[in-house]
Amino acid sequence: MIIEVFYMKYTVVAIGGFCGAISRYGLGQLIPANGHFPLGTLVINLLGCLFLGWFATFIAGRYVNPHVVLLIGTGFTGSFTTFSTFSVETIELLRDNNVIAAVSYVALSIIIGLLLAYIGTRIALSMKKEQASA
């Protein structure tokens, strides 16, 4: 039984990861390249911040199957967003002497990412309040 639950968790994360990775790739193909600035990764990571802020807050305090949290929070969102690509793209910008672009990329990613995670949290709290009053 314990081994089955262990493998089930990994399977759920893998399925979510697969879906997040192909979603990231597909969306990245739709976002036009903007010179040397990694706009696609920025947009994808910011969407992930908004979504995960919403998701984590919306499910907080509710009974949600832990496999759903692993599927969507860990698997899907974890592979949809990518810190490693962000890091490598920042290093490449610096290596190519695009210091302003690199600093802008880091600042936009952090500041707007935190703001969008906060907005996602506020949206979820608003939704919870509406559901409680209904």
Give the model's pLDDT for residue 79.
96
Give the model's pLDDT for residue 122.
97
Separation between Cα atoms, residue 5 and residue 67, nearest integer Å = 10
| Averaged pLDDT, 87-103 | 96
Query: Whole-model pTM above 0.85?
Result: yes
Asked if residue 36 has pLDDT above 90, the reply is no
Instruction: Give the other-Cβ count within 10 Å of 98's Cβ.
Output: 17
| Cβ neighbours of residue 130 closer than 8 Å, sequence gap 6 or more | none
Rounded mean pLDDT of the chain?
93
Asked if residue 8 has pLDDT above 80, the reply is yes
Separation between Cα atoms, residue 107 and residue 93, nearest integer Å = 14
Asked if residue 1 has pLDDT above 80, the reply is no
| Cβ neighbours of residue 70 closer than 8 Å, sequence gap 6 or more | 9, 12, 13, 16
Match 């910011």 to its residue by tokens.
46
